Amino acid sequence: MDIAKKSIDLASQEMIKKAKDENINLSWDRLEAQQPQCGFGQLGLCCTICDMGPCRIDPFGDGAQVGVCGANADTIAARNLARKIAVGASAHSDHGRDVAHSLLLTTEAKTHDYAIVDEHKLKILASEFNININKHVDEIAKEVAHKILDEFGKQEGELIFCRRAPKKRQDIWKKLGITPRSIDREVVELLHTSTMGVDNDYKNIINTGMRCALSDGWGGSMIATDLQDILLGSPEPIRGKVNLGVLKQDQVNIVVHGHEPILSEMAVKASQDPQLLEMAKKVGANGINLAGICCTANEVLMRHGIPVAGNFLQQELAIVTGAVEVMMVDVQCIMPALNEVANCFHTQLVTTSPKARFPGVKHIQFSPEKAYETAKEIIKLAIENFPNRNKTRVNIPKQEMDLVAGFTKEVVFQILGGRYRASYKPLNEAIITGRLRGLAGVVGCNNPKQTHDYFHTELVKELIRNDVLVLQTGCSAIACAKAGLLVPEAAKEFAGKGLQEICEAVGIPPVLHLGSCVDNSRILTAACEVIREGGLGEDLSDIPAAGCAPEWMSEKAITIGFYFVASGVYTIFGASPFAILGSQNLTSYLTSDLEKIVGGRFDFSDNPAQMARLMIEHIDKKRKALNLKPMIYNEHIT
Ligand code: XCC
Ligand code: SF4
């Protein structure tokens, strides 16, 4: 495959070429080696759930149309999909649980490395849980931690955060019986009902799937976001740098990769430790340079301005620079191939979570009780590894781009309304009067099946050109940041006139970086504020807004898609339509019928211009339904 087809990012292209010259296999090579990929798997028609199988359904209708147990294509495809939703919800929610646990340990003084940083947010949260806030902060926090931990396993009631949704939305969930009750319960129930011989009704399987997904969006992920803000600080707009060029020739480079910021937060602190800096000097380094990959990167970027080395498909490429002393990983999106790539260089891969280990790879186990100590140990290891760097094999691409990150539901409030009359009013007004067409959430991963970064950047450019304000998270935000879309100056070059005026008036980029993938919950809560402000309908599905995951690959993306759709959002997925095309019934249920039931539905497209057009058409449809004024500058899609 031509390098330009693999990635549009010049820094990545340079490293892909280097890897090729040095015979190092990357994800693109392994994808090629997998061709042709299994057609039954792609269509969702392979079932391995029980040992009477594996069974497969013949998509052409000639061979078997049911498995040994009698399950048909609809049941098999729906069950497979449901199980992915459960896995995605588990990943985010387990992350949320670990943060809650760290909060509890902090309040019990079992760790002294963390503190309650955002007291204000803690108190708001406490009030939502009916906790009396007229007592010592530690006491409040302890009670919050316990209540939150209960959300995972309680046997009665419903998830408290669901009350954040507009009343109309809550009623829809109630009517359908999909209000999540507790997080673990929804995951377990979905796994239960999708095993052999339980639920055979694809529509009911999807209902149970939506309830599980909602327990992530309005549960596990929302918990992760809120508690991280309390424990590590709520982000505020901050400048940073992105792309492989952030790695430093003359410094010890440590890359943090994964998802949970509890340890990487300590790595940030340790990288500024005078003793360690002195040690670095002694081995001939000019400092300690921390950089991030994937969502851990987004977390430390938003709170500390730590540079981002790259997104998902750049994890191997960061090592290929030859300049990384240590890549420390926690959980999720860490390619098993990393060790082999690291072995081609001096790079030391370090695993830190008991949940995610590699055979034979150095493991320095992290626990909140000795967080700072662990972080220091890892950084020390990196410093000691610096002299092993082979300077003749170092190639750091020069690309690095400025960006602004750190937008939250609260910050958007303040920026748009001014610090003293914080309000969503100016945002709503802009949409109502037709200066802004609407909002779009563009999120998700990279996938070597698609040209790296191309879909994210082309789609987002097209949206902002048509006066749609774009909210981003995850690897998608990193892609657009590399393309220079996340700075205020980008408005002039890329945005439509209406969006441009707003960006210039308040000094924001046309594309707002809201954080990591669990922070997709920030998009939900921001949308709730839009409804609360008034003038744009009574339910999330009324807002002129749409979502997209143009280069998705993870099960987590599927779960996010489902909680967006179940919250009323029209959502497009790129790459392959998640292995459902083998069931026509399921496909049309998800892409059409669902809209009448929950107000949102799925669409699939592998063309960024088409994605943009579909999203804009949907936004315009919502504008019409709300009887909004015509667009001030460009009524029709240009
Ligand atoms: Fe992973 Fe969150 Fe996807 Fe990126 S965007 S590849 S999930 S790091 Ni979540
Ligand atoms: Fe086959 Fe049914 Fe078992 Fe699946 S559950 S493997 S379709 S027998």
**For residue 69, how far is its CA from the centre of ligand 2 (angstroms)?**
6
**For residue 258, how far is its CA from the centre of ligand 1 (angstroms)?**
9
Q: Which ligand is nearest to the CA of 446?
A: 1
- Find out whether 140 and 122 touch, Cβ atoms under 8 Å: yes
**For residue 445, how far is its CA from the centre of ligand 1 (angstroms)?**
5
**Could you read off the pLDDT of 532-587 as tens digits, one per residue?**
999 999 999 999 999 999 999 999 999 999 999 999 999 999 988 889 999 999 99
Which of 66, 69, 76, 80 best tests ligand 2's pocket when mutated (most atoms within 8 Å of CB)?
69
pLDDT on residue 412: 78
pLDDT on residue 554: 98
- Find out whether 78 and 586 touch, Cβ atoms under 8 Å: yes
561 lines ligand 1 (CB under 6 A): no
Examine the pLDDT at 417 and tell me if it is beyond 80.
no
Reported pTM: 0.97
**For residue 476, how far is its CA from the centre of ligand 1 (angstroms)?**
8
- Find out whether 140 and 198 touch, Cβ atoms under 8 Å: no
Degrees to nearest 5, angle at CA 118 with 236 and 231: 100
Is residue 423 very low, low, confident or very high in pLDDT (cuts 50, 70, 90)?
Answer: confident
**Could you read off the pLDDT of 443-478 as tens digits, one per residue?**
999 999 999 999 999 999 999 999 999 999 999 999
295 lines ligand 1 (CB under 6 A): yes
The DSSP annotation for 216-285 comes to IIIIIHHHHHHHHHHHH-----EEEEESGGGS-TTSEEEEEESS-HHHHHHHHHHTT-HHHHHHHHHTT-
Residue 196 alpha carbon, nearest atom of ligand 2: 5
> Are β-strands 252-257 and 288-293 bridged in parallel, bridged antiparallel, or unpaired?
parallel
88 lines ligand 1 (CB under 6 A): no
Q: Which ligand is nearest to the CA of 45?
A: 2
**For residue 51, how far is its CA from the centre of ligand 2 (angstroms)?**
7
**For residue 386, how far is its CA from the centre of ligand 1 (angstroms)?**
29
Distance, first Cα to last Cα, the chain = 33
Residue 259 alpha carbon, nearest atom of ligand 1: 2
The 3 state secondary structure assigned to 362-420 is EECCCCHHHHHHHHHHHHHHHHHHHHHCCHHHCCCCCCCEEEEECCCHHHHHHHHHCHH
**For residue 52, how far is its CA from the centre of ligand 2 (angstroms)?**
6
Of 352, 616, 307, the residue nearest 470 (C-alpha):
616
445 lines ligand 1 (CB under 6 A): yes
Examine the pLDDT at 419 and tell me if it is beyond 70.
no
Q: Whose CA is nearest to atom 2 of ligand 1?
A: 295
- Find out whether 400 and 242 touch, Cβ atoms under 8 Å: yes
Of 374, 368, 511, 339, the residue nearest 439 (C-alpha):
511
Burial class (CB in 10 A: 0-12, 13-18, 19+), 433: middle
Q: Which ligand is nearest to the CA of 479?
A: 1
Residue 444 alpha carbon, nearest atom of ligand 1: 5
262 lines ligand 1 (CB under 6 A): no
**For residue 200, how far is its CA from the centre of ligand 2 (angstroms)?**
12
**Cα torsion through 76, 81, 85, 87, rounded to 10:** 70
Residue 474 alpha carbon, nearest atom of ligand 1: 5
Residue 554 alpha carbon, nearest atom of ligand 1: 7
> Are β-strands 308-310 and 326-329 bridged in parallel, bridged antiparallel, or unpaired?
unpaired
Q: Which ligand is nearest to the CA of 258?
A: 1
**Could you read off the pLDDT of 91-119 as tens digits, one per residue?**
999 999 999 999 999 999 999 999 999 99
Which of 45, 47, 74 best tests ligand 2's pocket when mutated (most atoms within 8 Å of CB)?
47
Is residue 637 very low, low, confident or very high in pLDDT (cuts 50, 70, 90)?
Answer: low
Alpha-carbon span 457 to 484, nearest angstrom? 10
pLDDT on residue 627: 97
**For residue 616, how far is its CA from the centre of ligand 1 (angstroms)?**
25
Report CA torsion sign: 321, 325, 331, 335.
Answer: positive
**Could you read off the pLDDT of 236-282 as tens digits, one per residue?**
999 999 999 999 999 999 999 999 999 999 999 999 999 999 999 99
Is residue 9 very low, low, confident or very high in pLDDT (cuts 50, 70, 90)?
Answer: very high
- Find out whether 46 and 54 touch, Cβ atoms under 8 Å: yes
478 lines ligand 1 (CB under 6 A): no
Instruction: Tell how far CA 336 is from the center of its chain.
Output: 20
pLDDT on residue 277: 98
The arithmetic mean of pLDDT across residues 621-630, rounded, is 97
Alpha-carbon span 303 to 614, nearest angstrom? 34
**Could you read off the pLDDT of 162-180 as tens digits, one per residue?**
999 999 999 999 999 999 9
**Could you read off the pLDDT of 341-394 as tens digits, one per residue?**
999 999 999 999 999 999 999 999 999 999 999 999 999 999 999 999 999 999
Is residue 205 very low, low, confident or very high in pLDDT (cuts 50, 70, 90)?
Answer: very high
User: In Å, how far are 364, 520, 562 from 559, measured between CA atoms?
Assistant: 31, 11, 5
Instruction: Tell how far CA 401 is from the center of its chain.
Output: 21
pLDDT on residue 150: 98
Q: Whose CA is nearest to atom 1 of ligand 1?
A: 333
User: In Å, how far are 458, 460, 500 from 486, measured between CA atoms?
Assistant: 14, 11, 13
Q: Which ligand is nearest to the CA of 559?
A: 1
**For residue 194, how far is its CA from the centre of ligand 2 (angstroms)?**
11
**For residue 71, how far is its CA from the centre of ligand 2 (angstroms)?**
7
The arithmetic mean of pLDDT across residues 133-140, rounded, is 96
Which of 554, 555, 556, 564 best tests ligand 1's pocket when mutated (most atoms within 8 Å of CB)?
554
User: In Å, how far are 39, 70, 74, 621 from 57, measured between CA atoms?
Assistant: 11, 11, 10, 38
pLDDT on residue 636: 66
Q: Which ligand is nearest to the CA of 444?
A: 1
Collapsed DSSP state (helix, strand, coil) of residue 110: coil
Q: Which ligand is nearest to the CA of 477?
A: 1
Report the percent of the chain where pLDDT is more than 70. Answer: 98
Mean pLDDT score across all residues of the chain: 96
The arithmetic mean of pLDDT across residues 589-615, rounded, is 98
Which of 225, 331, 333 best tests ligand 1's pocket when mutated (most atoms within 8 Å of CB)?
333
